[in-house]
Structure 1
Amino acid sequence: MLSACAMNSSSEKEPQSGSNQKSTANVKSTDSKSYRANNISALPAKSKARKDTFIAGISAPGGVFLPYFYENGWDGNATDPIFAPLVNLDKDGKPVGILAEKWDVSSDQLTYTFHLRKGLKFSDGSPLTADDVAFTLTLLHDPAYSGGQDISLASIKGGKAYKEGKAKSIDGIKVLDKDTIKITTDKVNAKSLLLLGGQVLSKSYYGKDYQYGKLDYLKNLYPKPLGAGPYKFEKYVPGQEIRYTANENYYSGAPKTKHLIFKIIDKSTSLQLFETGELDYAGFSADDDTVEQLKSLGFANIQVSPVNDYGLVYVNNTHPQFKDKAVRQALIYGLDRQKIVDVKFKGYGQVANIPVSPVSWAYDDKGINPYEYNSKKAKELLDGAGWKKGKNGIREKEGKPFVIHYLTADAEDPFIPIAKENYQDIGIKFEPEIMDFNALVSKLNKKDYDFAAVSTSQILDPSDTVEELAANNPNNAAGYSNPKVDDLIQKGLSTLDIEKRKSIYHELYKELNEDPPYIFLNYRQSARAVSGKVEGLNPDNYTGISASLPNISITK
């Protein structure tokens, strides 16, 4: 399945997947291996018959097909083929121009000038100009905007005044001509280039009914997206598929493959669908059995590699029983996370302890407490925090029993039996609830939960996963608050010097290790399988398959 790859926010999460089998491998999460197809003639008949259509698997889209406004990261995947950004990331995480031919940054790193490619058009043939870029950035500053993109991080000059109704336009946004826009910011931010250079919305389409402070009209356009990406939206059949057709107005020409389908699948059937030729691409949790099964097909190109995300269990810091950091520490010590990772990934993963993946340049776990399973330590911390065992063996404080309600979208989640046993041992009652993923996201955003299991979206920058932990961030689903963390989050964004940022993030990781906002669970590997008839598809850890879509071709 695709993995959500939009800019991260607390609402852009993925469900975790699991298994109940024991570990049979010892593969580090940083290892990578690839296997080439050796028998293309073994392609299933369904696949051979499909000459101009590429089909990939996707899970649980919510139907909000508008960048910046969706809550479900799978909708981010669904919008990527439709909407193109000014700037994207290459396979190494370095910025590359898409709709922007080039950009200039002033010597003080406060002013960005984007030079758009000549003759850009949206898929309906209407021109795409700097006015559309200005409209997009203005929309994100509207007081009624409540999506996951925190444009305030870019600190555009006059942006705050516009949002507060003190100005009728944003002073720092200047359209120089139809192909050039200059944006002036008030402070340096390492993410400004991507924040300012995001996906562009059509002013004539999305802005024709725009009124300051009133954005509800956009909901009528969620199912009717119009963009400037390589593909045009064609049809959405809830629970089944999303269909696209090649955009003849794409800046580099129509994609080589005319039709694109994102087939909505369940992880339990994705391997079968790939084997029978109903999918041309799918991703799986890596394990020996799956890799060997894919290799045995003969027609699959396989890549086993680390994924640039991490799994976690959100802890609601606003609930009384979780406000004490000693309690949160106890909940980590009292949980056999290694066992969970072994059962879930069968050797193709490792326990996580910091909010960034080993793929990132910011990863550094030196001096980090690994919180190895220690029920005795957990009991001591709970005793010290005033949670004493009652007559029924469940801990109580001020007459209230310690109960954890756990939300997950995975019916086979191995966290459930292990946590239930571990937490019972230390005197905590554990009550799991399995629900639809979109319902889980809704509860998470409303802070209507104790524990909730998710995975981050693909991590584009180390700040992506920590910004939401700032006390004043509206996407702080954990309800976490730590002034030192707030300060370090800002410092990490205040310089473009990677070495300085590394040092700041390492200090931040130590603080989050001492005062954990939630339970870090795992890093993982995935097995990505591509039909041998498909050329030009190169999934990466920053854009998934979206960057490859214009170049995919199907051999006859």
Structure 2
Amino acid sequence: MRKASLSKLLLAMMLLLFLVLAACNNGSDDSAEGGDGGSDEGTEEGAEEGEDSGDPIDDFNQVKENAGEPIDGGTLNYGLLSSTVFEGVLNYNFYSISSDADVIQFFDESLLSYDENWEYTQDGAATFEVSDDDKTFTFTIRDEVNWHDGEPVTAEDWLFSYEIIGHPDYTGIRYDASFRNIEGMDEYHSGDADTISGIEVIDDKTLEITYKEAWPSLLAGGIWTYAMPKHIFEDMPMDEIEESPEVRENPIGMGPFIVESVVPGESVTFTANEDYWKGAPKLDGLTLKTVSPETAVQAIESGEVDIVDFPRDQYAEAVDSLTNVEVLANYDNAYTYIGFKLGQWDADEGQVEMDPDAKMADVDLRRAMWYAVDNEAVAENFFDGLSWPATTLIDPTKPNYHNEEIETPTFDQDMANQILDEAGYEDVDGDGMRETPDGEELVINFASMEGGDTAEPIVNYYIQSWEQVGLNVEMLEGRLHEANAFYDRVEEDDPDIDIYQGVWGTGSDVDPSGLYGPEAPFNYPRYQSEENDRLIAEGNSEESFDLEHRQAVYDEWQELMVEDIPVFPTLYRLSLEAVNERVTDYSVIIGWTDWHEVGVMQEDPVLP
């Protein structure tokens, strides 16, 4: 990491003051959303053994060092780090907040596995073959894969997931370009066909899917790999599924643990699935409970939980006392960002609709706001080197595509002032705040969510930074918002929100269409342009099976996002997990899903 300039050190003092003033408030830059890969930040090729590379991940393991042999059975306590209750939509086809996915992972799973390079393997619950033209995939589900009620997982169950998501009355947010690329899906989604012509059940365990176009992304996260038990949901009205007891209270899956009971939003008790296709779990059971960022250190240190995501903003202060745990880390395939509301979602058309009169429609205003903030100071002073300034919207966990050489706005308030002056934003009435080029009052409403101790001081820092260049930015309703309510309002295009701070988990696929495509419900800025459409299509064209061609396309796309700025990224980060010393065979390596192998070496947690 580069050392801060004098101006940054002054900002650091201001940031620390905010920490003191807001010590009793909630907040963090973490959302309820969240990798492997590599960041070139601070590293050098060929560093000598023992030499500090400057890469923060060098201080951590990715696989838990076993302190002993696991006992037969035992129960593990898992802490779900969240400042709020989990929403409780416990089905892959319908959930939208990642805390729900954290619950689902224990009782259900993908039919396909993937490796550290995010590519599908043949080691999952299903295997696959691809046609010579790369358009037809044939999947075979293993015979030993069963639902928790003993029914076999079938090709009909996998097809049923596609029929649910593609249904005209589907209430979730999964229907996007990857589904529309399936032959016959458009006709099914519009109600003009009763079946999806491009998906065929060959036999009980074999499914064939034919796509209109061969996309490179299909082999790296571009396939919907989650089945849904048709025998449970097939007679249920579409508008009742998401709120049904079969989703909220007693869901079933094919994973290593079975849901025994749910305390809505607070905890879930699981028992071992002795019929799990990979083999019976070592543990007798597992209990998941929500843990707030404010109490996470106490919860892991006291043995209340055995595993918990560790708040990065508390690590430096707590690390010396954590004698009974090991902290693992990996690069998080995520970035924090500032988003600008540029339009609305047209539900009838299933696409974004930009508003030329939106308050944030002027790209010069957005660019000036990017220049005005010092994300290096935020990273250094709030996260102790465990986060670092983000540059582009393809994060470093995609090393083949993340281009660190693309020039992006960095902290320069003189440049921010110059841009605003030239764009006509002037202080007309002498109150120190700029008006619009038309001379109208400009008040920008900024929404952000609760989390750990740092969220409110970070929001206050951004607001003060923008105030220093004459922009009147106010925290929406004068407070941070509970995470579920925050994302509901952002998703529903609440007209009171002009800008917002969010976190995107970028997943396994470098293709940005799911977040920034014109037909993506997750396109929360509601951004669209012809050049964006062209590059997204080109990135998934047959020509892009050539790595160099696809790299060039995504270089252009990253540059376009710096030019158009529907959002700007603020921080990349490490993901930390604290694990009690009694836990064995646990890993944070990307693609690891072997919860059935996790054990404990004694009944009670190891204490300090």
CA-CA distance at 1:415 after TM superposition: 2.2
Aligned residues: 524
> Following TM superposition, by how much is the alpha carbon of 1:292 offset from its aligned partner in structure 2, in angstroms?
7.4
Are residue 461 (structure 1) and residue 509 (structure 2) matched? yes
User: Which one-letter code corresponds to 1:14 in the other structure?
Assistant: A
* Alignment match of 2:74 (pick from 37, 41, 51): 51
Task: State the SS of the aligned residue for 1:523.
Answer: strand
Matched, 1:233 2:259: yes
Question: Aligned with 1:125: secondary structure?
Answer: coil
Output the amino acid matched with 1:259. G
The aligned counterpart of 1:440 is 486
Aligned-residue offset at 1:402: 2.0
- Could you give the per-residue CA deviations for residues 361-397 of structure 1, whole angstroms, max 9, x where no partner exists? 3443354223121112112211222221132111112
Specify the code of the residue in structure 2 equivalent to 1:396.
Answer: E
Which digits, 9 at most, give the CA deviation of each residue in 1:303-328, with x for residues without a partner? 24422211112211236231111111
The residue that corresponds to 1:7 in the other structure is none
Which one-letter code corresponds to 1:250 in the other structure?
Y
- Give the secondary-structure state (helix, strand or coil) at the position aligned to 2:88: coil
**Residue 502 of structure 1, CA deviation:** 2.0
2:235 corresponds to which residue?
208
2:128 to 75, 84, 103: 103
Contact 1:311–1:456 at 8 Å: present in 2 too? yes
* Corresponding residue for residue 347 of structure 2: none
Is the 2:360–2:366 Cα contact (8 Å) retained in structure 1?
Answer: yes
| Contact 1:28-1:350 within 8 A present in 2 as well | no
Conservation of the 8 A alpha-carbon contact between 2:532 and 2:560: yes
Match runs of 1:55-454 below 5 Å: 55-59=78-82, 60=84, 61-97=86-122, 100-154=125-179, 155-193=181-219, 194-210=221-237, 214-220=238-244, 221-223=246-248, 224-286=250-312, 290=315, 293-294=318-319, 296-318=321-343, 320-390=358-428, 391-397=430-436, 398-410=438-450, 412-413=454-455, 414-432=457-475, 433-448=479-494, 449-454=497-502
Partner of 2:554: 505
* Distance in 1 of aligned mates of 2:198 and 2:401: 34
* Whole-Å separation in 2 of the counterparts to 1:357 and 1:114: 31
TM-score where L is the length of structure 1: 0.87
SS, match of residue 321 in structure 1: coil
Q: Which of residues 10, 14, 21 is equivalent to 2:32?
A: 14
CA shift for structure 1 position 295: 5.5
CA shift for structure 1 position 552: 0.6
Tell me the alpha carbon deviations over residues 63-92 of structure 1, each in whole angstroms, 9 at most, x when there is no partner. Answer: 111112122111111112222222122344
Say if 2:33 and 2:504, in contact at 8 Å, map to a contact too. no
Residues 158-197 of structure 1: CA distance to partner in whole angstroms, max 9, x if unpaired?
1111111111111111111111111111111233354435
Contact kept, 8 Å, 1:31 with 1:306, in 2: the verdict is no
Change (3 A) 1:387 1:35: closer
Structure 2 vs 1, CA of residues 127 and 370 (structure 1 numbering), >3 Å: closer, same or farther?
same
Q: Is the 8 A contact 2:33 2:99 kept in 1?
A: no
Measured in 2, the distance between the counterparts of 1:466 and 1:218 equals 25
What amino acid is aligned across from residue 137 of structure 1 in structure 2? Y
Identity among equivalent positions (%) equals 24
Does structure 1 retain, via aligned residues, the 8 Å contact 2:447–2:500?
yes
Aligned equivalents of 1:128 and 1:262: distance in 2? 26
Tell me which residue corresponds to 1:485: 532
Q: Contact between 1:123 and 1:226, CA under 8 Å: does it hold in 2?
A: yes
Tell me which moved more, 272-281 or 181-190: 181-190
Instruction: Work out whether residues 54 and 257 of structure 1, in 8 Å CA contact, stay in contact via their aligned partners in 2.
Output: no
Q: CA 1:499 to 1:254, structure 2 compared with 1: closer, same or farther past 3 Å?
A: farther
Q: CA separation in 1, counterparts of 2:184 and 2:330?
A: 44
Separation of aligned partners in 1, 2:332 and 2:198 = 37
Partners in 2 of 1:156 and 1:35 — Cα distance?
37
Structure 1 unaligned residues grouped into runs of 5+: 1-11, 17-24, 42-46
Aligned to 1:475: 522
Q: 1:92 to 1:146 in 2, by over 3 A?
A: same
Distance of 2:271 and 2:501 partners within structure 1: 35
Mapped contact 2:136–2:211 kept (Cα < 8 A): yes
The residue matched to 1:114 in structure 2 has which SS? strand
Aligned amino acid, residue 394 of structure 1: M
8 Å CA contact 2:114–2:120 kept in 1: the answer is yes
8 Å CA contact 2:138, 2:209 repeated in 1: yes
**TM-score normalised by the chain length of structure 2:** 0.80
Moved more, 322-331 or 414-423: 414-423
Question: Is the aligned partner of 1:517 residue 2:566?
Answer: yes
Distance 2:517 2:560 in 1: 13
User: In structure 1, what residue type is equivalent to 2:502?
Assistant: V
